[in-house]
């Protein structure tokens, strides 16, 4: 099997001002996106975010309302799917039940009028590549879910497409098999050097597989970057909350120093000290605090001058390698109670075990608080606050 490369050395996929509207509904709202050669790009978002519609427009199954879809500099937006030379794998695999594994994989080569002798060689090589050698004579019903997924992948790759499009191809599998196939699929993508655009709603799957993650919401791109960028440096409160677990602690900036130090007051009367640029006194913000960045301890010791909130354990969840604590804070104002989630490692630390009802103190460093503009809905529910703080 030869490596699948973009021979021009350019960017295989570029979307320019791509729109899709249905009557009064905007499914995709003028997105711009570039995916480099040999990259594994995951498009992530909740249901209705526009991610699958975007993929279907690239594949040619949905016509864009306007905009361009460039593959190696050529606009393919007006081409039918069979003329785009793109591989596609769906969640349900779409295998032909009456055809053998061999014939399923051979189908796109037959449609392209490849000589029979070459078809046999290419199919056998591809079945070996996806670890299905010797199973060409079986039918889809005789295979496990993971094997069927490999057949669909082999069929999408056998004609050496420039780009492979995948719409939640592992969604129907159990968690253990899905995790295993994520690793296998990523390794195969690297070995073949094919460009992949992979749609999913699973944040863990995106972080595991992608070189580039695109988070969509409401038909728009919220953020586009590396997994590290989106997890450690989310641009919005939505991205922070969607990319893994986080505590979104909302408040109002009461002071902003020239060195970027912010003093943020929370409705419970607590305060957050953080460092961020672009904010000023009076701004409504959301501080993203990842559970693994918080520490938990007894409240008996001397209180730190910043970012140390006292509370009480509301719930304890055992995770095997870690313990998740839900800590209720702000008990003096029950209507404004907040719960902070802390993820504490069980081994390799001197972590003390706490139980439901225990009084505790949660702390974090100012560098662990990512300050973000809240959503419009957040700004509406935050109460007005006076300077002074607690």
Asked whether residue 3 is assigned to any structural domain, the reply reads: no
With vertex at residue 27, the alpha carbon angle to CA 26 and CA 28, rounded to the nearest 5 degrees, is: 95
* Residue 110 pLDDT class (50, 70, 90 cuts): very high
> What pLDDT sits at residue 178?
81
On the question of pLDDT at 182 being above 90, the answer is no
The burial of 235, by beta-carbon neighbours within 10 Å (0-12 exposed, 13-18 middle, 19 or more buried), is given as middle
Residue 58 region by backbone torsions, left for phi larger than 0, else alpha for psi between -120 and 50, else beta: alpha
* Residue 2 pLDDT class (50, 70, 90 cuts): very low
CA separation for the pair 378, 155 (Å, rounded): 47
CA separation for the pair 286, 373 (Å, rounded): 6
**253 and 144 in a common domain:** no
Asked whether residue 344 is assigned to any structural domain, the reply reads: yes
On the question of pLDDT at 77 being above 90, the answer is yes
On the question of pLDDT at 368 being above 90, the answer is yes
The answer to whether 41 and 196 have CB atoms below 8 angstroms apart is yes
CA separation for the pair 119, 109 (Å, rounded): 6
Q: How many domains does the chain have?
A: 2
Asked whether residue 49 is assigned to any structural domain, the reply reads: yes
CA separation for the pair 264, 57 (Å, rounded): 44
Average pLDDT over residues 184-212: 90
CA separation for the pair 157, 191 (Å, rounded): 12
Q: What is the pTM of this model?
A: 0.83
**75 and 56 in a common domain:** yes
Asked whether residue 21 is assigned to any structural domain, the reply reads: yes
> What pLDDT sits at residue 90?
85
**169 and 40 in a common domain:** yes
**256 and 216 in a common domain:** no
On the question of pLDDT at 331 being above 90, the answer is no
* Residue 321 pLDDT class (50, 70, 90 cuts): confident
**174 and 151 in a common domain:** yes
Asked whether residue 123 is assigned to any structural domain, the reply reads: yes
End residue of a domain, out of 190, 207, 237: 237
* Residue 372 pLDDT class (50, 70, 90 cuts): very high
**174 and 110 in a common domain:** yes
End residue of a domain, out of 237, 262, 284: 237
| pLDDT above 70: percentage of residues in the chain | 88
Asked whether residue 186 is assigned to any structural domain, the reply reads: yes
**200 and 59 in a common domain:** yes
Domain range for residue 117?
13-237
**270 and 188 in a common domain:** no
On the question of pLDDT at 378 being above 80, the answer is no
Asked whether residue 2 is assigned to any structural domain, the reply reads: no
**200 and 320 in a common domain:** no
* Residue 352 pLDDT class (50, 70, 90 cuts): confident
CA separation for the pair 113, 134 (Å, rounded): 25
**155 and 112 in a common domain:** yes
End residue of a domain, out of 215, 237, 259: 237
On the question of pLDDT at 114 being above 80, the answer is yes
| pLDDT above 90: percentage of residues in the chain | 59
E runs forming strands in the chain: 13-22, 25-35, 40-44, 66-71, 74-75, 86-89, 163-167, 195-200, 212-217, 220-225, 247-256, 261-265, 271-275, 284-289, 295-297, 308-318, 322-329, 338-345, 359-363, 370-372
Average pLDDT over residues 273-302: 90
- Higher-pLDDT residue of 22 and 93 is 22
On the question of pLDDT at 264 being above 80, the answer is yes
The answer to whether 18 and 35 have CB atoms below 8 angstroms apart is no
**265 and 222 in a common domain:** no
Average pLDDT over residues 122-137: 91
**152 and 258 in a common domain:** no
> What pLDDT sits at residue 387?
32
Asked whether residue 297 is assigned to any structural domain, the reply reads: yes
> What pLDDT sits at residue 216?
96
On the question of pLDDT at 115 being above 60, the answer is yes
- Higher-pLDDT residue of 250 and 8 is 250
> What pLDDT sits at residue 80?
94
| Domain CATH number, residue 35 | 3.40.50.300
pLDDT tens for 26-60 read 999 999 999 999 999 999 999 999 999 999 999 99
| Domain CATH number, residue 365 | 2.40.50.100
């Amino acid at each position: 099997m030869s490596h699948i490369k973009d021979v021009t050395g350019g960017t295989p996929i570029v979307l320019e001002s791509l729109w899709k509207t249905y009557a009064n509904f905007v499914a995709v709202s003028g997105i711009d996106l570039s995916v480099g050669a040999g990259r594994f790009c995951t498009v992530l978002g909740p249901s209705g975010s526009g991610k699958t519609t975007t993929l279907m427009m690239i594949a040619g199954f949905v016509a864009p309302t306007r905009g361009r879809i460039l593959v190696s500099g050529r606009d393919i937006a007006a081409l039918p799917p069979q003329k785009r030379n793109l591989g596609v794998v769906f969640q349900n695999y779409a295998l032909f039940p009456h055809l053998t594994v061999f014939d399923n994989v051979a189908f796109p080569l037959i449609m392209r009028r490849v000589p029979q002798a070459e078809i046999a060689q290419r199919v056998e090589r591809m079945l070996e590549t996806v670890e299905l050698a010797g199973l060409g004579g079986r039918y889809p019903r005789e295979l496990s879910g993971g094997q069927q997924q490999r057949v669909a992948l082999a069929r999408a790759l056998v004609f050496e497409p420039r780009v492979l499009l995948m719409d939640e191809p592992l969604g129907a599998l159990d968690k253990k098999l899905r995790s295993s196939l994520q690793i296998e699929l990523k390794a195969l993508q690297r070995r073949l050097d094919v460009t992949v655009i992979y749609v999913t709603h699973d944040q863990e799957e995106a972080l595991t597989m992608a070189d580039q993650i695109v988070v969509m919401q409401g038909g728009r791109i919220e953020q586009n970057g590396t997994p590290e960028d989106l997890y450690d440096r989310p641009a919005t409160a939505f991205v922070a909350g969607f990319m893994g677990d986080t505590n979104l602690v909302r408040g109002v900036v009461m002071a902003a120093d020239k060195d970027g130090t912010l003093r943020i007051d929370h409705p419970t009367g607590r305060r957050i000290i953080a460092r961020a640029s672009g904010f000023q006194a009076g701004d409504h913000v959301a501080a993203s605090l990842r559970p693994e960045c918080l520490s938990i301890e007894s409240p008996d010791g001397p209180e730190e001058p910043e970012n140390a909130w006292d509370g009480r354990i509301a719930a304890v969840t055992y995770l095997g390698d870690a313990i998740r604590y839900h800590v209720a804070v702000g008990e003096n104002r029950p209507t404004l109670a907040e719960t902070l989630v802390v993820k504490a490692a069980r081994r390799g630390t001197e972590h003390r075990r706490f139980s439901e009802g225990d009084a505790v103190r949660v702390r974090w460093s100012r560098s662990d608080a990512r300050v973000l503009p809240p959503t419009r809905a957040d700004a509406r529910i935050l109460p007005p606050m006076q300077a002074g703080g607690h």
